[in-house]
Amino acid sequence: MDKLFREFGQAIAHCNGNELSATLSSLAPADDPYRLRNIWNGAGQNDARAAIKRKIQSNSDGLAHNEVAGWTEVYYAYWRAIGQILLVQDAPNGNGPASTWTKVYEAWKDVLNAVHRGYTNHGFEAWTIPCLYVVGNHLRIIARRADEERTSSSSYLGEASFQDDFDADSEKNKQLEDCARQLNRLFQLCLSDRTPDLTKSRKWGIYALANLLFKTYFKLNSATLSRNILRAIAAAYKGDMPGLDQFPKSQRVTFKYYEGVMYFLEENYEEVRQILTHLIPCHLITSHALPSQQLLAPFPNLQKLFGPLSVCIRRGDLNAFSKVLQENEEIYIKLRIYLTLERGRDICLRNLFRKVFVAGGFEEATEAGKTPLRKTRVPLTNFTAGLWAKGQDDVDLDEAECLVANMIYKVRCKV
C-alpha cells in the first residue's frame, strides 16, 4: 500500500491525471503481479479508512482538507473492491461462493460513486478527469464478466426459473445495462460543467466517456441510444465546448468511428464519406477508384477480412459478394459486423447499375462539333442482363424493375 500512495503523491505533485488514474486499476500490472494483494494486505478491516487517510496526508503536502476527505473515500472504496476481486481470483476456477463478479461489480460501483462525489462535493480538479475514464472502463469490463458469470451459472438459472416474474432476457445484460446508466452519469458530469475557464473544465472528459458509452450501447445492441450522445455533444458546441481537434487523437478516431457507424446504419453514406475524409489521407480518397489494396496493405488481417469484399463492391459483383460474405460469416458475426457488411450489397448493386448505365454509351450528336451526351434512358432489359452477367440469373424483368425503383428511391431520399 505504501507504493500505491507514493505514486498517488507523485501524481498529485505533478498534476498528472494519467499517472493518478493508473493507481485505480482493477488489474495488477505484468511487472507487479502481487500489487492488488499487497494493497489489500496493507490495511485491516477495522482501521482501513483511517490508515488510507494518513497515507494520503503524508504523501500529498498541500492537498486541501476537503480533497483529502474525497480521495480517502475513493481509495477506501477501491481497497474494498480489491478484496472482492481477490476472493473471486482465489476461488476454484475463478468462481466460488465467497464472492462473485456481481459482488465485484457492486463494490466497483462504489468506487465510481466515490469518484463522482469527489467532483460534486470535494472539489476534485479538472486535471484528474482521466480517473473518470479508467474507473468507468473497469466498471464496463467487470459488468461484462458479471453478466457472463450469471448466464453461464446453471444453478442461478435453475433457481430463478421457479419465479413467475423471471425474465431471462432482462437478466442477460443486467449489470451492463446498469453500467450504461452509471457511465451516463459521468458523461453528464463532464457535459454540465459550467466553469468559465476551459483549462479547468471537466468538459475535457466528454469524448473519452462518450466512447465508453458507444462501446456499451453497441454491446447491448442498443446502438440507437448513441444518437442521444451525438445530440448532446452537438448542443454543447453552442456553448464553450472545446473543438474536437483539441482532444487526443485516440479519442477523436474512436468517436468518428462510432459516428460513422451510426450514419452507415442510417444509410447516410454521404456523411460516412465525409468522416472518412477526416480519418484517411486525402490523396487516398478518389471518386471512383478508392485503392482498397493500398489502404489495407499495411494491415494483413484487415486485408484478408475486407479486401475481397471491397473488390466485389467496386466491380458490382453481387454473386462474388455473397460468396465472400458467406465464407467469412462466422468471423463477421463474432466481430458483430455481419449485418453492417451485408448492407454493402446496396452499394454493390448501385455500382453494377452504374456500369450498365455507362455501357449504354452516348447519344448521337445533333450538330457537328458538339460533345455527345450520355444516354439518359436505359432499357430495363439492360439492367436484367447486367444482373445475369454477375451470376443473378434467377432475376426476371419484374424483379429487376423493382431493384432499379428501390435504388432510385434511396438516392432521392438522400437528396
∠ CA 345-351-353 to the nearest 5 degrees?
Answer: 105
Which of 83-97, 162-176, 265-279, 299-313 has the lowest average pLDDT? 162-176
Cβ atoms within 10 Å of 343's Cβ, excluding its own = 12
Question: What pLDDT does residue 293 have?
Answer: 57
Phi, psi of 58 (to 5 degrees): -75, -20
Q: What's the whole-number mean pLDDT along residues 10-39?
A: 93
* Spatial separation of the C-alpha atoms in residues 21 and 135, rounded to whole Å: 8
Q: How many CA atoms lie within 13 A of 294 on its CB side?
A: 9
Q: What's the first-to-final CA gap in the chain, in angstroms?
A: 62
* Spatial separation of the C-alpha atoms in residues 402 and 53, rounded to whole Å: 72
Contact 157, 168 (CB under 8 A): yes
State the Rg of the chain over Cα. Answer: 28
Nearest to 400 by CA among 383, 377, 376: 383
Side chain identity at 190, as an amino acid letter? C
Question: What pLDDT does residue 251 have?
Answer: 94
Nearest to 115 by CA among 211, 17, 210: 17
| Residue 380 binned pLDDT confidence (cut-offs 50, 70, 90) | confident
Q: What's the whole-number mean pLDDT along residues 139-156?
A: 82
Q: What's the whole-number mean pLDDT along residues 322-328?
A: 91
Residue 18: pLDDT over 80: yes
Q: Cβ neighbours of residue 400 under 8 Å, at least 6 residues apart?
A: 380, 383, 384, 387
